Amino acid sequence: MPGTYNPNGTSTSSSACIPCSAGTYNPVAASTSSLACIPCSIGTFNSNTSSTSSSACIPCSAGTYNPIIGQASCIPCDKGTYNNENGMSSCISCNAGTYNSNYGSTSSSACIPCRVGTYNYNTGSNSSSACMPCSAGTYNPSIGGASSSACIPCSAGTYNANTGSNSSSACVPCSAGTYNPNLQSASLLECNPCSAGTYNPSSGSTSSSACQLCPANTYSSPGQSTCTSCPSSLQIASPGSSQCSASNLCTLPGEGNVGIIPLVLMIPFAFIGSTIYYVRSRTSSVETLSLISISLGLAITGLDLISDAIFIIFLLSGNFIKLTSGVRLAGAIFIIVRFLHPVIFALTIGSLFGMMIAITTTTTR
């Protein structure tokens, strides 16, 4: 009978007929081989035995498929895929930018878009872990990003140190005093400080042209949003200065004259000193004269060094007008000492020179 076969052609009982297996059918009677059982085509299945017609092969339902002929059942679509039609031999992969963690899905809506701040360039993904975070320096405000190009670079003048950002607000403006000409900056270190002598009051600057020169009598170190005023006693900084300098303060009397003036004055002082020591050598011993000369020279030199120290302290003390009366008196005395600086220097050298002449002359005699 149809739906069966009997390899023993001499059998006289129907019980000798073997049913065609599930997944096949046989519309012909008196078949003698299993080859008479025709497999159901791909995309269909037949769970019954002894089927006699191709109508017994049922199309696989949506969400399943069958890639092989003669099957008794259909296979559910795998994770990462779906099938929205009957009788299919394969399932459709979810698009890039999505994933599906369920079996047997019947619609593309089962493919879930990657969340904002991420992207996925692979098709057929079966887990949310397939969605990769946008790199630092970028952000993605949209779901379903299918490539890294879905991640938008932060604009110049900003940076973003975090991954997986979903908004442009994640791009932090570079602080005042800095600038950044580059896109997609991932670190605060990419905000360049304005150079010393300049300032930038605005945040989010994109060019070094935003760094303005400090006005006269002000200064700045690198990366400043404002310039600092010079002290009242040192208001001599030109525009764009990195520090306030006292280099052009009026030179006090005697300062800077340790070169020519002492050399000019040393000749007459040396002559005077030589004469004095020569005359004294007639009545005093050379040893006494030497001791007196050396002591006088050391005393004068020490006074000169003290005046140098007072000069430095006076410069650092600020505006002379604002000082107390006692300090002003000390400053006035100091100025007089500074005026005598070249004279003291010349007298010291001249005295020592005269001592040497006197000693030589006395010894010779």
> Where along the chain do its domains lie?
174-234, 260-364
Residue 259: the pLDDT is: 44
Give 364's contacts (C-beta < 8 A, 6+ positions apart).
Answer: none
Report yes or no on whether pTM surpasses 0.85: no
Give 149's contacts (C-beta < 8 A, 6+ positions apart).
Answer: none
CATH class for the region spanning 174-234: mainly beta
Residue 31 is classified by DSSP as -
**Taking all residues of the chain, what is their mean pLDDT, rounded to a whole number?**
82
Is the pLDDT confidence value at 250 over 60?
no
Model confidence at 257, pLDDT cuts 50, 70, 90, reads very low
Q: How far apart (Å, rounded) are the C-alpha atoms in residues 185 and 165?
A: 13
Q: How far apart (Å, rounded) are the C-alpha atoms in residues 185 and 10?
A: 88
Is the pLDDT confidence value at 316 over 60?
no
Is the pLDDT confidence value at 44 over 80?
yes
Burial of 58 (0-12, 13-18, 19+ CB in 10 A): middle
**End-to-end Cα separation, the chain, in angstroms:** 164
Structure tokens at 99: 């994933």
Residue 268: the pLDDT is: 58
Burial of 236 (0-12, 13-18, 19+ CB in 10 A): middle
C-alpha gyration radius of the chain: 52
The residue ranges of DSSP E strands in 183-314, in sequence order, are 192-193, 198-199, 212-213, 218-219, 228-229
Residue 228: the pLDDT is: 93
Q: Are 4 and 26 in contact (CB under 8 A)?
A: yes
Q: Which of the pair, 316 or 207, is modelled with greater confidence?
A: 207
Model confidence at 219, pLDDT cuts 50, 70, 90, reads very high
